[in-house]
Structure 1
Amino acid sequence: MTAPTLENNRVKLSLLDLSNYNSLEAIAQEKDLIYYSPSDISSPEKLRDYVQLAVDGYYQKTIIPFIIYDKQKQAYAGSTRFGLINRKNKVLHIGWTWIGHDFQGTGLNNNMKFLMLQYAFETLGFEKVEFRIDERNKKSRRAVEKLGASLEGILRKDTVMKDGYRRSTCCYGILKEEWPTIKSTIFKTF
């Protein structure tokens, strides 16, 4: 499996690995960047472990991790990935997304998600893309809803957070047959 490079005039997503993750060390240190995630990237060592798990998943063909480069700001902005890739059922998740505070609200995330959805549906031929979000994370939930994803249900207290809190996870999805309408309405400027 080769990792694609997904790119438009605003953003470039390329394979995140142990040769480039250190470009994200400063951003990973930003306060509350992944507050709603059970992952921990709060130190260079923990960031390396986070990337190592993603790389392991890449070689097991269940993850494609990306490093995000913002072409407008000419800077690395964060990380995202395809995860829980299920080739038999043609379903994957988009998530594990974190971008530095200076990149949030700039349109970068919409550009990334467009490229990822387009690749999942049009190149890989997957039938469904899912998103899993902490029920408390209103900002991320609104962002996914604006992409056209439908709330399919809530997994109650299914994930243990770093502080021991048991979060409930909102499950969103976009179906392949919904993609053309979403692409032509929500992403009409892309």
Structure 2
Amino acid sequence: MAQRGQTLPRPNLTLVVLHSPTADVRSHVAPLRSPKRYALACRAQSEAFSGRAIRRVGAVLWESSTGLSPNWRLLRNLANGAPIVAYSSDLGVGAAERSQNMGFLSHLAAPFNPVDVAHQIAISEPGDMATRWQRACVPLTDYLGQVAVFSEMTRRVGAALAPGPVAEAIVDRA
């Protein structure tokens, strides 16, 4: 797991910032505009999924202070597996809680600190178990749906379907 003191911004990472139409997005992202820090693509939330496609998305930052819940299907499509993090310029106590109620796992405060952004990306990118499980679900289901695999698994495990022997049979077969 990444430690806050050791996390440095990855260079050439494209951040997609989806903000409210009235937000002062320039002041929010100003600390991230250093030449070797991040490439930024800022869009209003209402126009987030229209227009030119953004390639090589490193993370998506969604402004949660509007209270507008995101369209998660479109947001995940835009992120293409990259971390999705909520942010707000509201310094109130309920800002992070509001983000969690919308379904976000992490929250940032604007104006952005490059180290905080890098830290949130680092902790949500490789270690987000829910995202990893969702990515693995289809291939795993396809794999376990094969008759030969299922037959061998039930033969090795026998009648008892305890998690340990099942997992061992799957790992041995893979």
Give the TM interval when normalised to the shorter protein. 0.3 to 0.5
The structure that has the greater radius of gyration is 2
Greater relative contact order (CA < 8 Å, ≥ 6 in sequence): 2
TM-score computed with the length of structure 1 as normaliser: 0.32
